[in-house]
A and B are shown apart, each in its own frame.
Chain A
Amino acid sequence: MSCQGRIGELGTRPSPTPTADGAVADSASDVFDPSLPAYAPGELTFPRLTNTQYRNATVDLFGPGLAPVELEADTNPFLFTTIGASRATLSARGVQQYERAALSLTETVFADSARRQALLGCTPTAVTDACVRTFFERFGRQAFRRPLDTEELDRFVSVARATTNAGDVWTGLRYAVATILQSPSFLYRVELGEEVGGRRKYTSYEMASRLAFTLWASLPDQALLDAAGRNALSTDDQVRVEAERMMRSPRARAGVRSFFVQYLGLSALDNLSRDVADFPRISATMGASMRQEIELLVEDMIFTQDTDFRQLFSARQTFVNSELAGLYGIPYPAGASGFVRVALPESSQRGGLLTTGAILSLTSHQNASSPTARGRFVVERLRCEPVPDPPGNIQFDLAQPTSGPRLTLRERLARHRANPACAACHEITDPLGLGFENFDALGALRTTEEGAAIDASGVIDGTPFVGARALSAALANDPRVARCLIRQTWRYAQGRLDAEGEQRGLIQLTQRFGEQGYRFKLLLVDLVSSEGFRFAAPPTP
């Protein structure tokens, strides 16, 4: 088996032309390509809440401070748990875990007289008290993201009645709330739309749910549900108004964080393992520290600075705690604790996302840097261009020669690329990845290898460069990177792969992204108010 595959089959599409139904006509430009398929909405999905969404939702419902519950792990095909949540079937144990979670959360909440009082807003003496029904109306509307009907209200009241023990109405209420937490209307996103001209249009309440889970990774708030109640999430302008408000909320940070953790694969840092003999700076907390640095960098760029997304590649500052400062070889301010913002000296080879410990470690082997994996990250993850997978019978032909002088990894990779079967793919990845060679497998700076000074030169798109900062600068200006980011954001938001018929919409978003100064908050607002997010194709019966 040799290297195969098409390069550029993703992410390099030309822009679309206006469609027959005028779906994207209003911003159509002369670069639209008539060969693109006509606009068609993507398929309807029925995702369950991801674990992040579930946890955030329970905080919204009960307030903070509850012990974490254990849930069935999400799967993340094509990077995103939102995609896994649209596909996976829950196991028997997963359902048991939902039951246990509901019982344990409600036990804690209802054992605490202040908390339960706050939740109910009254002190009921019997299940028949008016305030009980009012509570179910309010709580149920938030949990289900829509008003409850009479049958549902009756059902929850009757659960409370059946489980009220010796007149203790709180017990009954606890079990009724546990019912709501286990209902499919809470655990799954019931966004099935209404038939409009052969398509499904999401209702205003369903749009409230979609906006909240996408932008906040949690439930809608009161204002959003009120807007839905006025049917005021029915047009793109109406959705835009709410989305802009939501992006101003501190809760938007959770949604953005959730996207970037998945896009960049940061959860793999939870199991970061290195041999301490080779990497004395490895620690049980190092992976978590690296992850937090990225989260802080991204949030700073998007929310605090609200600036051009592409600066993520060239930032001259970052956030470190003491172990990251040690890894990076920069001073950690005396008297500080936790993460602090630090400026990177102009002389430093470090700067931007690609030189963080997180990305450098994630693209390394356990015992060695991998220019191939680092190059592949640039091509696949940042440009959305596939690199063919190595054949299964791969031999890492990177061993030191048995005689003669020892070679650097660069020298050994060159031998490797001399093999025509390997070169086809490695010519794509290695010239990019070699630019990171002055960072080791944990992301620490190194200046020599095998006694030779590190050569961090590479080639990007035919142009030579030296070092990761130069590479990052080139990527910041690469239109494929912005286009790829949008494609990945779309997949995250929709919980499925982008469909052929959606490419016109993606190109339109890309154009707007550039016109608006590459500001990620505005991109999200555009995305959620776009036609492709408000309509879907009906499900296969």
Chain B
Amino acid sequence: MSAVSAASLCSPPRTVRTVPFFAPELSWIAPMNKLALSRRTMLRGVAATGLATVGLPVLEAMLSRTGEAFADGTTPPKRYGVFFWGNGYGWSGRGHADTWTPTGSPSAWTPSEQLAPLAQNTSRVPSVSVITGLEPKTEIPASPGGQGDGHMRGVTNALSADRPRPAGFYHPDHIFALSRPTLDQVIARHPMFVGAMPTRFRSLELSVSNNRFHDYGSWTCISYNGEESQNLPIRSVDALFQHLFGVPVMGSREPGDRVSVLDAVRADAARLRTRLGAADRMRLDAHLEHIGEIQRNLRASAPMCTSPMRPTRAGGFDPDPSNEPLEDKLMAMMQLLAVALQCDLTRVFSMMFTAPGSQTIFRAVGAPSGLHQMCHENRQDIAKSTAIYTMRCFKRVLDLFANTMDIGGRSLLDNMVMLATSEFSAGDQHVVEEFPVLLAGGGGGTLRGGVHYRQAGGNLARVHLTILRALGLPYASYGFNGAETSEPIAEVLV
């Protein structure tokens, strides 16, 4: 049969595969309700007890009687996370009903069809807040052309509350970049967030789908340190496992030897540095800064973290770009991440479930082709069922964090602020109005949860300011180049 047919363009998919939404459990499950002890906790224990090794009784001794704070009165750390999916949701208008926006009052709303998965089984989960009606407010320079394109403008606004960098923007090849750090890195580098003792990893970047709209740059990454400085996601489960748990054996010579090596590398770089132009010197300086971070981790004590088993899946996690086991891979990565968060290896993460301009083929909902193309073929039905599937996946992540005990007796999710968003709303016309925004987690007692806040035509950057406030970072305003705002969304804050 020919490649182009009515079936593949217009009518309901004919190759509906019976892939369950919730795949069978993976072949390993780390016991997430057990508390893995963090390096920080251990050091507190050492300081408090003078012991070099820490056993369980000491752990209990470190908790206050209410189990909600350390014995020294401090509170558990807050975490920030991003769940990003590409290419929007099932749009309304142009002949389609609104199945995204909740109905009812702000505090007693009814989930929409696409958001329904989030309302399932919320007994232990702080409810998600849904924010609707917002949109990017950044100015669009006239030249070079194309800077208003919803993909580029939407993703940079959603991640950095700014527009794409005009310099070097080249729409015909979709080349764009951000001009400032994304919110996750603003948070991860903020001294008040980092505190006195940085975590082993400043942040973790992960991605599930390997299908990308383009191979380069901003189409493969949602975390930036600044111009031309990306934090590319870890794309393989094995690589994530190795990154988190492949630490040297303590007590061996290895950490000290590696520190010596890196000292020599820095000495080698010192003379070169002075010969470079300003821009290249900054690139080298960033490299050297990261070497310093490795050394700091080598000098610090290893985290007392119970390494889970290496996740496995029959056929692997990346068997075939035409048929990706998205949900299995997501959950394998997030289970490893949950251990990392529990152990305080990091406090900031971003999960790019699918890339901007997602070309992922959602077999689970019967999509014959990549989402970006499906949307341009006006397949709202596929966009909608993909959004429902994505929300179910996101809910599984929230449930995992809700069922993972954190230091102090509450769940990880209680101490977390999590933003779930995409690059725009409607993929058929790259519409950036009615931006999808979900705020999850308790924020360590700062997020109300369960609110539907709506401001038609409101400023999307308000979400960023709200997140900063929820994390206790005293920003008076946020947003850039027309998106400036000093109004957090008070309705979702405690």
Among A210-218, A308-316, A321-329, A389-397, the one that faces the other chain is A389-397
Compute how far the CA of A128 lies from the CA of B201 in the bound complex, rounded to whole angstroms.
39
A92→B268 contact, CB < 8 A: no
Q: Smallest CB-CB separation from A412: which chain B residue?
A: B4
Given A4-B145, A91-B229, A73 and B220 contact (CB-CB distance below 8 Å): yes
The yes or no answer to B373 lying at the interface (CB within 8 A) is yes
B9→A273 contact, CB < 8 A: no
B320→A284 contact, CB < 8 A: yes
Compute how far the CA of A449 lies from the CA of B201 in the bound complex, rounded to whole angstroms.
55
Find chain B residues with CB under 8 A from A284 CB: 319-320
Compute how far the CA of A95 lies from the CA of B288 in the bound complex, rounded to whole angstroms.
9
Q: Smallest CB-CB separation from B367: which chain A residue?
A: A275
Please, how many residues of chain B have a CB less than 8 angstroms from a CB on the other chain? 88
Chain A 426-449: CB-based contact to B (< 8 A → 1; otherwise 0) = 000000000000001100001011
B232→A73 contact, CB < 8 A: yes
The yes or no answer to A293 lying at the interface (CB within 8 A) is no
Compute how far the CA of A270 lies from the CA of B9 in the bound complex, rounded to whole angstroms.
26
Q: What distance in Å separates the Cβ of B26 from its nearest Cβ neighbour in chain A? A: 22
B229→A156 contact, CB < 8 A: no
The yes or no answer to A333 lying at the interface (CB within 8 A) is no
A89→B283 contact, CB < 8 A: yes
Compute how far the CA of A171 lies from the CA of B260 in the bound complex, rounded to whole angstroms.
13
Find chain B residues with CB under 8 A from A500 CB: none
A175→B232 contact, CB < 8 A: no
B253→A165 contact, CB < 8 A: yes
B290→A96 contact, CB < 8 A: yes
Find chain B residues with CB under 8 A from A395 CB: 376, 378, 428-429
Find chain B residues with CB under 8 A from A268 CB: 215
Compute how far the CA of A440 lies from the CA of B15 in the bound complex, rounded to whole angstroms.
19
The yes or no answer to A334 lying at the interface (CB within 8 A) is no
Q: Smallest CB-CB separation from A165: which chain B residue?
A: B253
The yes or no answer to B279 lying at the interface (CB within 8 A) is yes
Compute how far the CA of A470 lies from the CA of B5 in the bound complex, rounded to whole angstroms.
28
Compute how far the CA of A259 lies from the CA of B267 in the bound complex, rounded to whole angstroms.
35
Given A182-B261, A367-B4, A388 and B172 contact (CB-CB distance below 8 Å): yes
Given A184-B284, A273-B361, A541-B277, A99 and B8 contact (CB-CB distance below 8 Å): no
Find chain B residues with CB under 8 A from A272 CB: 321
Given A275-B369, A539-B280, A88 and B260 contact (CB-CB distance below 8 Å): no
Find chain A residues with CB under 8 A from B430 CB: 392-393
Find chain A residues with CB under 8 A from B170 CB: 78
Find chain A residues with CB under 8 A from B226 CB: 89
Which B residues from 232 to 280 make CB contacts under 8 A with A? 232, 234, 239, 243, 246, 253, 257-258, 260-262, 264-265, 267-269, 272, 275-280
The yes or no answer to A340 lying at the interface (CB within 8 A) is no
A87→B231 contact, CB < 8 A: no
Chain A 393-419: CB-based contact to B (< 8 A → 1; otherwise 0) = 111101110000010010000000000
Compute how far the CA of A94 lies from the CA of B171 in the bound complex, rounded to whole angstroms.
28
Which B residues from 212 to 237 make CB contacts under 8 A with A? 212, 215-217, 220, 225-226, 228-232, 234
Compute how far the CA of A504 lies from the CA of B6 in the bound complex, rounded to whole angstroms.
52
Residues of A within 8 A of B (CB): 1, 4-5, 44, 46, 70, 72-73, 75-78, 84, 87-96, 99-100, 103, 152, 155-156, 158-159, 162-163, 165, 171, 175, 178-179, 182-185, 188, 190, 192, 265, 267-268, 270-279, 282, 284, 364-369, 380, 386-389, 392-396, 398-400, 406, 409, 440-441, 446, 448-450, 538-541
Task: List 19 A-B pairs, Cβ < 8 Å.
Answer: A46-B277, A89-B225, A89-B283, A90-B286, A91-B230, A95-B287, A155-B267, A158-B264, A165-B257, A183-B268, A188-B284, A190-B275, A268-B215, A278-B368, A284-B320, A366-B359, A399-B6, A406-B6, A446-B3
